[in-house]
Structure 1
Amino acid sequence: MSLTILTSAYRLRSFHRLQRIQGHMMSSQVDPGVLLEKVGNAGVITINRPKVLNALNLTMIRQIAPQLQKWENDNETDIVIIRGAGGKAFCAGGDIRAVTEAGKVGGPLAVDFFREEYILNNAIGRLYTLYYICIITHLLSMGVGLSVHGRFRVATEKTLFAMPETAIGLFPDVGGGYFLPRLQGKLGLFLALTGFRLKGRDVQRAGVATHFVESKKIPELEKELVGLKSPSAEDISRVLDSFQNQSSVDSEKPFVLDKHMSDIDRLFSSSSVEGIVQNLKADGSEFANKQAETLSRMSPTSLKITHKQLQAGATLSLQDVLVMEYRLSQACMRGHDFYEGVRAVLVDKDQSPKWSPSTLEEVSEQSVDQCFSSLGEKDLRF
């Protein structure tokens, strides 16, 4: 048998192993929330809580973080592929309900979850010897920290991206203060304040994903990626570019916000949230009126925190942004709006949160500044 045939056979076996990961791991009595497997020269992470849209909990974080470190120190691991099981979501964010319940009673999870999640986000952003490839086949909402800090991020026509944290009294965390200000113009601020949803190819056009590949081609893409031997970044880019070039779904459609980009830059260029709202109301266009109405439903405190967060994050490193965001997370745990937002949106689902303060004018600059204050010995440290 020729070397070429042997290599092809090995790659095929590796790919079949990749497809059998879930089946092998599900044989245990307790289904693990995350599946970790070595396939050829690739480490494969599968987020495996499909019944709750693959929401991330502390146990999963504590599995992923040391495994990434182990693979980075392993000379035989070149890439890491992370993906979601179940066909509905890559990751719908952190386990918000559990964090909420802990926060209400002063439980340690409200501290430990954010601390360890942010440490993991930073580790993903600082990977040196591993090429991190996120396959975002479906929903990517609120918990983008597992994807956006990696070098390669693949969206499909089924991908849905949003950061709707201001609707639940939170802010776009997990490094949102780092990557959002680095999107084109004021797009990141617009997405952060409004929670606007991007779908399919638009996730890549916005810069949230690096590549777009049709979902039906993902198994073949994974097969080719796990078969790479000692690849460079250029090698991986060539594979991803090749699959992107083969993907024609929605290629003729313009970016959903294309005709509004100049308006977004103009209307969202203000030193305050009040200024943005004034711009929107004065403009009077259908688009501006819709955004003004959207902002009127969001937590006023969250809007002001988010605006300041993105302003500061534009000039900070990812690590410094995460330190800042940890302070903000703990401020939200001490406050009112996060618990009320979760109640209204996720628990009772009446969609009628009673924010306190209830207006932007009632949220003082002093109260916002306090959210950014150092926690002293309790600050996040790496």
Structure 2
Amino acid sequence: MHIELSDEQAMLRETTRGFLAKESSVAAVRALIEDPAGFDQGTWRRAAELGLPAMLVAEQFGGIGSDEPIRDASIIAEELGRLIQPGPFLPGAIVAFAVANFGTDELRDAVLPGLVTGEQTAAWCLAEADHRWDPDTFTVTAEARGSGYVLHTTKDLVQDASTAHYFLITARAASGPVQIVLPAQAPGITVAPLGSLDLTRRFSRVRFEDVEVPAGAVLGGVPAGEQWRRQFDLAVVLHCAETVGLMERIFEMTLEYANDRFAFGRPIGSFQAIKHMCADMFAWLESSKAISSTATDAVHAGNADAALVVSTAKAYVGAFGSRLVEQCLQVFGGIGYTWEHDLHFYLRRAKSNEVLYGTPDWHRERLCQLMGMTAESGADHHG
């Protein structure tokens, strides 16, 4: 990424890269394809010893206490993307961030210790039908009852729900958005696995049928809509960083192949058509690094225009991440289409990341809304 790394951040990057190369190579990830959990929990606990799940938690709550936690988490996400890692880093990081910042002391004491040590995991239940990510578009599914709520809703595309110990649920009550943290085994909650293009991750549909929510399980401190925005922008920048990591690694593999593969007595990388393809991919990669870094900085700083920058980043990285891997496939040719080659895992991850937390089109629409460019305002402007 195009952020100036401190000595500590450079060490974090190298330590994370070395750990993953040793403990969770692409070959090891491939071996977990048929595993119901989708990731090795022993590896995740060892990763926790390096502080990976604690990166976004303040030291007073058992976390790392980083001076630049969002930048550090983005560095980790990029390294995870390079080796198309499975596991609960991103959803767990979002839940830990939410509980640390918006939860009661009792909720922090119950949830955070297990998350930061890697002994427990968590998932964010956000998307509703038709891939709706913004709670302002949700139907009312949280009914106020006493000091709490009764929840009746269904959430789609929930990553690592089948192994989670806690769920963060973003729902809508009659009064507006509400955020709730519940044990995954609470009565009325059922988890149904979903098929996925990305064979290295696990997604589920989670149903909440008349689930009772005590007052202590409701996040507060700031309005729930603001909580969602901060979590959502954080999730998007981490997804962009992960996509940049996989783009960089598959581009490295493609350049190496173009230099090693000979045709008509010369490396295929010396042919003009391949050069043009590689030049395009290099431009897409560097542009993705730049906008992803800018979005990370905006969220880290809490800039007023952070949502604009974040959606700009996702609209670009989501589209060109997939396009770059597809072009790498063209350079590799036939071998890139085989099951034995790792390229298809990178393509599957890029395509799923393009959809998760909003497609490029969804984020372009969000940009228009944030800038007040509604259909009505456009008609007034041109009328």
Q: What is the TM-score when the length of structure 2 is the normalising length? A: 0.32
> Larger % of helix: which?
2
Q: Which has a greater percent of strand?
A: 2
